[in-house]
Structure 1
Amino acid sequence: MKYKLDTDGAKLTSEGARETHKQPLSSYDWMHGIPESLHEENNLVEVQFKNTRKGYYINSEGLELHKGDWVTVEASPGHDIGRVTLTGRLVPHAMKLHHFNTERNEIRRIYRLAKPYDLERMYEAKSREHDTMIETRQIAAKLGLEMKIGDVEYQADGSKAIFYYIADGRVDFRQLIRVLADTFHIRVEMKQIGARQEAGRIGGIGPCGRQLCCSAWMTNFMSVNTSAARIQDLSMNPQKLTGQCAKLKCCMNFEVDSYLDAQKKMPSPEIVLHTKKGDFYHFKSDIFHRQITYSTEKNAPVNLVTIPVKRVFDIINMNKRNELPETIGIENPEQKTGKKPVDILDENSLTRFDAQMDDKRSNRNSKRKRNNGNQPPVSEGQKTTNNGNKPNNGGRQLRNDGENTSPAHQGNERRRNNTPNRHPQTGNGGGRPMHGAANDMPRSARPYNNGSRERNNRNPQLPKNKKEQ
């Protein structure tokens, strides 16, 4: 199978899936690549126009057409331009899928591949669609018509336009057609659509994260009843059950048949289980886990008990034999094979990491306490403060005798001692050597002056005799 890099979509797609991501209700050519000798030749071509409108045409000229080509086709009146979405043997199957009747609908011809001039005229006509729709809504409101103009589609040559409208009942729009024809000078065609078809033409993303089914592949819209939600035990919440069309979601009908088949293998909800402890009434059924929940009250959830389906059939057979079991639950504990329920809504909760963070904080606190308990005892002569277990000396180490032993201080001591014409340090607090009579006096008899350089301000400890002086 050939692969081609689609530059418009910026992704690698096969030829069979070419252009499928660009338009709603696109078709996948799963027979692409099969030799023509293995299947019948077919000159029918599926052409798609704006949104979900499609038509089927005959390639009477024998053109070599590929998926995604712009072609000019026959219209009434004039001509129209569309994009090829399917060719070959799959076209008759698509015609059956879209309920295209060849007896009632005429199959028109493909003229040629669209030329640049044709595309320019088409884009010019398409540019008038939005303004025409707004003005048509105003005209319909002035005429008092109870209808909503949902979309307007111009033909490629600009000679005709299709007006899609939504109405609950029958609407007489003959006067509206005359006004529109005189206003826009075109041929007018009115088409009534439903709310589901309008959502399909507009397109969008559903709550499941995928493209809307009505715009992706659905062509036959069936009514959806609330009984489909009851059969599947869905919550009767209008906000969750309705789609973008304000109707019940079409996907509610997809699995109804499977649920009905599964419920045939379940006991009837009308059956009451009789035991020696009392009667139990049906409350809800879990088809996936094949379990049923019973209540002691008929219309209230009281003393709920969940048991497997096999146990329910055993109790029903016992009641038919006029036997009453001791309890509704499994009497033999060895027969219990229930799994612990998992709350899938809480798996990705925002608070799922809080417990881990609390454990980390407690571990850090316990480490701090252990480190504080392993510190050596402080000597009596050393002055300390309990300020976050930090020394009050700015990070410098002190010996027990109170002398500063930081590396910077020791370097300063060496430089002072090695300087010529200086006396070595004599323990006077790191100041300059004193000269004169005061220097010859005993250390205890020297006067203490707060402003002198005798005091070593770096050392927070002072001798007791100086404090007393």
Structure 2
Amino acid sequence: MNTYDWLRNLPIASLDDYCNVVEVSFNKGTRKDFYRNTTLQLFEKGDLVTVEGISGFDVGEISLTGEIVRLQMKKYGVKEDNPEMKKILRPSTERDLDLRKVNKDREPEAVIRSRAIAKQLNLNMKISQVEMQADGRKATFFYIADGRVDFRELIKVYAQEFKVKVEMRQIGARQEAGKVGGIGSCGRELCCSTWLTDFKSVNTTVARYQNLSINQTKLSGQCGRLKCCLNYELDTYLDALQGFPNDCDQIQVAKGTASLIKKDIFKNLMWYSLPDSTKQYPLTIERVRKIKSLNRQHIIPEELEPVEVTSHKPVEVEHEFVDVVGQISLRSLERADKKKRQQKKKQGQKEQPQGQKQVQTQQSIARHTAQPPKKGSAGRPPHHKNKPGRNKQQEGKKQEKN
């Protein structure tokens, strides 16, 4: 979980009063612990240090230094003068970092193998994460289980399989989501993996107080449980609901018994429905109290007298121009082109038989109006004899013969 050191620029009054305890984070911030700085070196946020581990050493990153560490220790109930607090050995060397990288590369394979072993032993548990110590002498197995699990045999198998000292630590589904991390439906990083430290129980009554529909898929987070953010506004709703009457779930009118559907804390209205009707009637708090007081006197009013609820939402205006850039693709253009071609082709097929009919009628008219050829013309049309050039050529040929 990330933290912001808002006391970072605070000047050091004296080295005697300076806090010698630093906060060190491991495994990308999923685990943090406090260590005493017994070296003569002052560390800053982001420095890699080698600290005491279980029968060995571990490598972590400095996350907090200075006065804000005292505030964090007070928050978690850790005493600064605790003699059992572990110490920082030295700044991390290249050998320490290389050894940590080798052991961290074993974690994904260890998760797969540990899950298979737990399944072979028929244990109702899920191995969520395996964290190896930097020197490879110890491994912490984080698991999720609904009830208590007897893993005495499992620890022996893990110790023989991975050649490490085994530590089993049970976590919940919310803590697993915090370790894995992710983006919520709000678009921001998960609260459990950033700033939320304690997890409060969330049930469906929280959604009912806020008039939310009981939809498990919408109200559940990535952990499969109800979202922690449902508790954020619960106190505000509870304070607002104190002004509503509690004994008005049902009121009597002439048409029947009206049942309470919901309470609107923003408009101070109570919605009721009558039997044999799906319509809902909004009533003011004063009207509901008046009807309830009349019912106690065995007086039944004629009507509910609901109020008119007007919507203040702005009316959506249809825009004349709409930017459709990115909505037109090549496929849509090709389909439109193909459609135009097919339409032109159909129109051509319809026009073609009409043109043929016109040609046929013109030919038949020409046949009926044409005159038959005269005798001796050898089938030639009569207008060839009347040509002047033709007569002169024939006269010239007759003179040569003579």
Task: Assess same fold via TM > 0.5.
Answer: yes
Please identify which structure carries the higher helix content.
2
Tell me, what secondary structure is at the counterpart of 2:177?
helix
Say whether 1:340 aligns with 2:317. no
Percentage identity across paired residues of the two chains: 43
Aligned match for 2:115, one of 124, 127, 137: 137
Matched AA of 1:41 = Y
Q: Tell me, yes or no, if the aligned pair for 2:282 and 2:306 is still in contact at 8 Å.
A: no
What is the match of residue 61 of structure 1?
A: 39
Matches within 5 A, 1:110-149: 110-149=88-127
Provide the rounded CA distance (Å) in 2 between the counterparts of 1:61 and 1:189. Answer: 29
TM-aligned CA distance change 1:102 to 1:170, over 3 Å: farther
Tell me, what secondary structure is at the counterpart of 2:146?
coil
User: How many pairs are equivalent?
Assistant: 322
What is the match of residue 50 of structure 2?
A: 72
Provide the rounded CA distance (Å) in 2 between the counterparts of 1:143 and 1:302. Answer: 56
1:42 Cα deviation from its structure 2 partner? 1.3
Matches within 5 A, 1:355-394: 355-356=318-319
Q: Tell me, yes or no, if the aligned pair for 2:281 and 2:306 is still in contact at 8 Å.
A: no
Q: Tell me, yes or no, if the aligned pair for 2:144 and 2:171 is still in contact at 8 Å.
A: yes
Matches within 5 A, 1:58-457: 58-98=36-76, 100=78, 106-268=84-246, 270-274=248-252, 280-297=258-275, 302-313=278-289, 315-316=291-292, 327-329=303-305, 339-342=310-313, 355-356=318-319
1:270 Cα deviation from its structure 2 partner? 2.9
Provide the rounded CA distance (Å) in 1 between the counterparts of 2:130 and 2:284. Answer: 57
Matches within 5 A, 1:456-467: none
TM-aligned CA distance change 1:330 to 1:171, over 3 Å: closer
Provide the rounded CA distance (Å) in 1 between the counterparts of 2:84 and 2:228. Answer: 32
Q: Tell me, yes or no, if the aligned pair for 1:195 and 1:245 is still in contact at 8 Å.
A: yes
Aligned match for 2:18, one of 27, 38, 41: 41
Q: Tell me, yes or no, if the aligned pair for 2:248 and 2:292 is still in contact at 8 Å.
A: no
Q: Tell me, yes or no, if the aligned pair for 1:132 and 1:152 is still in contact at 8 Å.
A: yes
Tell me, what secondary structure is at the counterpart of 2:35?
strand
1:317 Cα deviation from its structure 2 partner? 5.7
Tell me, what secondary structure is at the counterpart of 1:118?
helix
Provide the rounded CA distance (Å) in 1 between the counterparts of 2:196 and 2:72. Answer: 12
TM-aligned CA distance change 1:103 to 1:243, over 3 Å: farther
TM-aligned CA distance change 1:41 to 1:172, over 3 Å: same
1:36 Cα deviation from its structure 2 partner? 2.4
TM-aligned CA distance change 1:271 to 1:146, over 3 Å: closer
Q: Tell me, yes or no, if the aligned pair for 1:292 and 1:308 is still in contact at 8 Å.
A: yes
**Stretches of structure 1 lacking an aligned partner (at least 5 in a row):** 1-24, 360-446, 448-469
1:191 Cα deviation from its structure 2 partner? 0.7
Provide the rounded CA distance (Å) in 2 between the counterparts of 1:168 and 1:102. Answer: 36
TM-aligned CA distance change 1:196 to 1:98, over 3 Å: farther
1:323 Cα deviation from its structure 2 partner? 7.3
**Stretches of structure 2 lacking an aligned partner (at least 5 in a row):** 323-386, 388-402
Provide the rounded CA distance (Å) in 2 between the counterparts of 1:273 and 1:68. Answer: 65
Tell me, what secondary structure is at the counterpart of 1:305?
strand
1:103 Cα deviation from its structure 2 partner? 9.5
Provide the rounded CA distance (Å) in 2 between the counterparts of 1:107 and 1:101. Answer: 9
1:271 Cα deviation from its structure 2 partner? 4.8
Provide the rounded CA distance (Å) in 1 between the counterparts of 2:83 and 2:212. Answer: 43
1:303 Cα deviation from its structure 2 partner? 3.5
Provide the rounded CA distance (Å) in 2 between the counterparts of 1:252 and 1:329. Answer: 34
1:197 Cα deviation from its structure 2 partner? 0.8
TM-aligned CA distance change 1:289 to 1:151, over 3 Å: same
TM-aligned CA distance change 1:278 to 1:57, over 3 Å: same
Q: Tell me, yes or no, if the aligned pair for 1:63 and 1:112 is still in contact at 8 Å.
A: no
Task: Note the alpha carbon deviations across 1:364-403, whole angstroms, 9 max, x for none.
Answer: xxxxxxxxxxxxxxxxxxxxxxxxxxxxxxxxxxxxxxxx
Provide the rounded CA distance (Å) in 1 between the counterparts of 2:149 and 2:171. Answer: 13
Task: Note the alpha carbon deviations across 1:205-239, whole angstroms, 9 max, x for none.
Answer: 11111111111112222222222122222111111
Q: Tell me, yes or no, if the aligned pair for 2:248 and 2:288 is still in contact at 8 Å.
A: no
Say whether 1:26 aligns with 2:2. yes
Q: TM-score, normalised by structure 2?
A: 0.71
Task: Note the alpha carbon deviations across 1:181-216, whole angstroms, 9 max, x for none.
Answer: 222211111111111111111011111111111111
Provide the rounded CA distance (Å) in 2 between the counterparts of 1:38 and 1:292. Answer: 63
Q: TM-score, normalised by structure 1?
A: 0.61
Task: Note the alpha carbon deviations across 1:319-368, whole angstroms, 9 max, x for none.
Answer: 6788776643379xxxx7x541539xxx9xxxx78x44599xxxxxxxxx
Tell me, what secondary structure is at the counterpart of 1:37?
coil
Provide the rounded CA distance (Å) in 1 between the counterparts of 2:112 and 2:251. Answer: 64
Tell me, what secondary structure is at the counterpart of 1:71?
strand
Provide the rounded CA distance (Å) in 2 between the counterparts of 1:44 and 1:306. Answer: 61
Q: Tell me, yes or no, if the aligned pair for 1:46 and 1:57 is still in contact at 8 Å.
A: yes
Moved more, 84-93 or 29-38: 29-38
Q: Which structure has the higher relative contact order (CA within 8 Å, separation 6+)? A: 2
